[in-house]
Amino acid sequence: MEIVIFGATGKVGRHLVSQALLREMKVRAFGRNVHQLPDKDPKLELVKGGVFDESEVRDVISGCNGVLTAYSGNSDNNDKTLTVGIKNVIAQMKKTGVTRIIALGDHSILNAPEGGLFLEREDFPEEDMHLALENQQAWQYLKTSGLTWTIICAPKIEEGDPTGKYITEADFFPEDARSKIYSGDLALFMLEELEKNRFPNQRVGIGLV
């Protein structure tokens, strides 16, 4: 299997790269600072480029089996990397005929137990609203894309190696999970979902047990 990883130098992206290589996947790691990554593995191709550039994104996607995006976004109201980036990735996937995408998302777009989304709660933090709305828009782009997509909706992400000690649930945050997840476990689950396709066209809540 040959995959493209967008956001390959980030907290989750680095784990995606290393774990995918351990699974004997061929990896195209894409980003502006991608040459910060070690490149001694012959299965790894480092591709310098910007996610807003149509031709660069189309070229790196062409011929691959799946796409993973690891952009977590931030609270800066001017940051549109998540939405503009995912919109371009979707467009270039459709042009190249690649259909499977696993995206990193935020728990704010999961269903709340009482109804609606977490971001629609009256007590949702105002300082987190920009990031939540960016995630909601990215989800909307994926829902209408015609692709086979999965969004992994993470709570607080802490740096850490994979433990495998997490639980998941479609569309909701798992009732017995803690409101945090290690970056290594996020990468582990994203790659497992790419291989097993358990949650096509769904949001997935994830948290440590």
> Quick one: pLDDT at residue 201?
98
Query: 3-class SS at 205?
Result: strand
Q: How many CA atoms lie within 13 A of 23 on its CB side?
A: 20
> Quick one: pLDDT at residue 72?
75
Is there a contact between 38 and 206 (Cβ–Cβ < 8 Å)?
A: no
> Quick one: pLDDT at residue 39?
82
CA-based angle 51:41:1, to the nearest 5? 65
- Domains identified in the chain and CATH numbers: 2-208 (3.40.50.720)
Q: What is the mean pLDDT of each run of 10 residues along the chain (209 residues)?
A: 96 97 98 90 96 97 97 70 94 98 97 96 94 96 98 97 98 97 98 98 98
> Quick one: pLDDT at residue 74?
64
pTM of the model: 0.95
